[in-house]
Structure 1
Amino acid sequence: MNYIDRKAIGLEQYFAKCSSSFSSLNEFSEADITIHLQQAPLRTRIALAQMIHNSLRQLKEDFRGLDRIIPSDLFRQYASVNALVCTPDGLLPFFRWLMELQRANEQRRILCLSELSSCTARLDIDSRSFFQNFFSLNNQRVVVSPDGDSIVMTTAEREWGKVAAVFERCGLDNPDALPLLGFAFGQECILLEDGRYQINLLIDTEFGDVEYCERLLSDSGWLEFSFTCGNMHAAPICTDYVGRVNRLGTPRFE
């Protein structure tokens, strides 16, 4: 993936789940965070230090490959909770790192959306609106399958039907990888120099009943799938919902 960093997003969500104190740090300057830590009572700083220590230890035990994102100095500094790390200066390195992580995630998201906007500007207005919304959704169940020289990504069926994103005149390095079934966590669309599009899909094939930030940090079940195409359009597949209800009755959950 060119822009989506799955584990970096997972870490941001992981710490946001731990405490609201770790959320939206990218909206503040380092000076703001320093003042906040200096004004916090000792019991609050002790609680934050303990939370940081426990979280980093748990992350190191449960997940691999995080040393690419979390500096080894942080693991060493917060290996224990002592008087030094409970001071404002002792807590600041972690908050500074998390603030920079959140800013980097936001910057990558903006670049991804900007690239998508450049690609969809070449489409008709209906297709443009569809792909801008479709590529902004996370965790939607999809099936990716070949159809001649096209690739079709179909969403889960709803009462009214379902929709398919059709990518035409595709170039594919690994055609044997299709069909794919899973949850599309992220999609990227990049305009190439020859006028074609590069499509990058990040698909979770093991979506289950776990905290999703933990899925993002896991190495198992993730698939990155890329191909190029000459054009793309939306193809809604409508269902006769009223006719189906008349034939089968209304399900209880409706």
Structure 2
Amino acid sequence: MKKIVLLLIVLVAFSCKNESKKKVKSEGFVTIKKENFPEEFGKIFEKHGGIKAWRKTQVLSFNIGEEVHTVDLKSRKTIINSPKYSLGFDGKEVWLDEVEKGNYKGNPNFYYNLYFYFYAMPFVLADDGIIYEKTQDLEFEGINYPGYKISYKSNVGTSPDDNYFVYYNPKTYQMEWLAYTVTFRSKKTSDNLNWIKYKEWENVNGLVLPKKISWYNKNDNGLPLTPNGMILEFTLPLLSQGKLSDSFFMKPNSENEKK
């Protein structure tokens, strides 16, 4: 509860403060990050608010049911708070803190950033170490959705063999579909795709982020067929250009937090 209140204080304080814009300069030249994504992918980012606006954001927070997910977008430190447990990544290791032992049933190493990736679409696909490949269009209910395969260079992240397939509206460039593989447990490449339809979006401080996503059953060709009934809703979204302290993401009552 302490960490949730601290987050709200930081975000509110930052939103009320007008900071002067600063340019980063090196020997008289403005430092500009060179992007490596294709031009079409850049149009997807622009439709969702722009990659520049995303890169200015320091903290992202959202709710899934009773869970509050908070992520430092630069370091990817993460904390998930709920009434019965908290878990997070402090930059070095994943931790779990339960009110009563056995309250949390999953795998913290797999779970701590799982829904962040789904929620931060499409912007999370501008991370370093990504390889973009044009892929065959997805045809669904008479509409052809152009797409890209997203893979990762070796040793990038906890599951570098994961693949994502992003499909977008050919007229608006809004993201419509996500297909993904899961290699966390097996550590082996896979062709078994899971399909998500991005059903609803909402504007959060100028960035268009998902509100509801829905998983789909597959046909015999491995393509989306019908909704399988699993719908995930993201609520209480917060974005901030204010930075949270490192201690915010540490395990409660840890030696690091006491210092």
- Greater C-alpha radius of gyration: 1
TM-score (normalizing by structure 1): 0.27
Going by fraction, where is strand more abundant, 1 or 2?
2
TM-score (normalizing by structure 2): 0.26
